[in-house]
Amino acid sequence: MEQESPAEFTRRAILTGMVLGAVLTPCNVYSGLKIGWSFNMSIAAGLLAVGAWRLAERSLGTAPLGLKENNINQTAASASASIVSGGLVAPIPALTLLTGQTLQWPVLAFWVFCVSILGVIVAAGLRRQMIEHENLAFPAGLATAETLKRIHGKGREQGARLRALLAAAGVSAAVKLAVDLAAAVPRLALPGSLAGGVTFKNLGLAVDPSLLMIGFGALIGPRAGLSLLLGAGVSWGVLAPWVLDRGWAQAGAPGTVWFSELVAWLLWPGVTLTVTAVLTAFAISVLRIRRRLVGTEGRMGRGYALALAVVTALICIAGWTLFGLPVWVSVLAVALSYVLAVIAARVSGETGVTPVGALGKVTQLTYGAITPGDMAANLMTANVTGGAAGQCADMMHDLKTGSLIGAAPRLQIYAQALGVLTGSLAGTAVYLSLIPDPAAMLMTPEWPAPAVATWKAVAEVMAAGLGAIPEGAGPAMAVAAVLGVILGAADRVLPERIARWLPSAPAAGVAFVIPAWNSISLCLGAVIAAGAAHLNPRWTERYGTAVAAGLVAGESLIGVALAVSRMAG
């Protein structure tokens, strides 16, 4: 076998990353609109690239893909797939639901690109301080670096992992096709009913044949999985029948699922639980690192300052022409983006968790006070700050990977920019294809869009006050707020060995705004993965992530293809 290429920023490396990014981005758009979460595609992109170029090596005699080339590939691909943090699965659909405003593909792609490239620029300025000087962990970047070293050092292992990923994707895609085209695997409702003739089917208490949910459950772990099941039991098993009995929500047609009728009420305590827990944990994290934030700043070289100024100008122009945002509002949003990006990058570097949702809520609350009643300003400034800060934190993991394998950071930043361009074009096209009519399609059993529900609810409260809250939801929100603060604080204050046994409030809150069958499947996947790790930890370590990623990718890609084919007639 030929020796691997020692090159780095090669044509094939960047093109492979952009192609894989275009292929993998729809997976995150799809899953983001389904359950509000996205998946880090770095490892999947690395495996797929090695497999593709190994095939080219055997058939065409090309040189094997080098480790640093693969790092450029995964950097571009993950930057593309991370484009969902630019607003495609939260503030942008929420704006459409609240105001009716929709953006055509070129305009939407331009806006998402501006928001996301701001995050890349900020990450470039923070890299030296956080990675070289402070050597923060950035766990996802560390895991990617170790995986890349392993698959480039052991050819058999990378081949086996790739086969596992592709096999899982094939099975997941086949099941999705069977469900959608042949209805061969129906959703199995749990037998039984409650008082008043409300059946478990009406409440969505069923087992769904979605292998995407099983795969995602395997990735999120048992704590989040069991918390989702707990949240579904409380919301759909307890609160929903009570709300129907009190007349605060109207029953749907007999024999159908009453998701839309019930989620309009349930989302309020669910969103409250999620937001209070996330903001509490976020505030404690900031208090803990406040001293270390002092002096955390980027190197403001001439080229860096010029790039930041250009992107700021583009955001100001786009904000004014598209959403009527005053220039000072956009400038303040960019400035706040930099501050929040510093916090997000540090929190992500120390914990592995990127608090995009919390950052968006901070901005929504801030602009709710500055520009009360302006929903566009509330949502789109939060889009800028949350999207840029989230993209920055995600990019820092890629830069950590590069640091560990000796890659050139400047070349990685170029790859990130090209990945963001790819993701902006591909992600917006997929979003518009999947959801041509957001008002009719979102917050339904097919597309629950929990992140959209959260952003929409906060914007409504900031614009209309407490009058936006449905009857009876206020006391439930108060209880949820108390629980959210307690659980959010406990998650940060208690030792990890104790905190891991407590429910995850964000996961439990999400269960209020997605169908119960999704929570059941996610929990099932988490339990299966935990059982596999206990019975065969070595096998699970080698193949668990690959199999789970395959299950997610297979169904989501077929789901996107089916949606596009339906639009085409």
- Euclidean distance between CA atoms 430 and 407, whole angstroms: 32
In this structure, is residue 4 part of a structural domain?
no
pLDDT at 36: 78
What is the reported pLDDT for 470? 84
Domain-located, residue 536: yes
Please tell me the distance from the alpha carbon of residue 342 to that of residue 340, in angstroms, as a whole number: 5
Residue burial 259-285, b: 16+ Cβ < 10 Å; e: rest: bebbbbbbbbbbbbbbbbbbbbbbbeb
Q: How far is CA 477 from CA 7, 10, 91, 98, 410, in A?
A: 56, 54, 22, 22, 47
Q: How confident is the model at residue 568 (pLDDT cuts 50, 70, 90)?
A: low
The confidence score (pLDDT) of residue 178 equals: 83
Domain count for the chain, please give it. Answer: 1
Could you tell me if residue 200 is inside a domain? yes
Other CB atoms within 10 A of residue 86 CB = 33
**CB 401 within 8 Å of CB 371:** no
User: What's the rounded mean pLDDT across residues 225-253?
Assistant: 91
> Which amino acid type is present at position 106?
P
> Can you tell me the mean pLDDT for 348-375?
74
Distance CA 467, CA 474 (A): 10
**Residue 1 belongs to a domain:** no
Whether residue 5 is contained in a domain is answered as: no
Q: Residue 28 in contact with residue 35, Cβ under 8 Å?
A: no
Mean pLDDT across the stretch 386-412? 90
According to the model, what pLDDT value does residue 555 have? 86
Q: What is the DSSP letter of 4?
A: P
212 within some domain: yes
CA gap 172, 567 in Å, rounded: 23
pTM of the predicted model, to two decimals?
0.80
The answer to the question of residue 136 being in a domain is yes
Question: Which residue is listed with tokens 């009570």?
Answer: 242
- Domain of residue 77 covers 11-567
Q: Would 320 be classed as within a structural domain?
A: yes
Q: How many CB atoms lie within 10 A of CB 432?
A: 18
- What is the per-residue pLDDT for 458? 83
Q: Tens of pLDDT along 206-225?
A: 888 789 889 888 888 899 89
User: Is the pLDDT confidence value at 432 over 70?
Assistant: yes
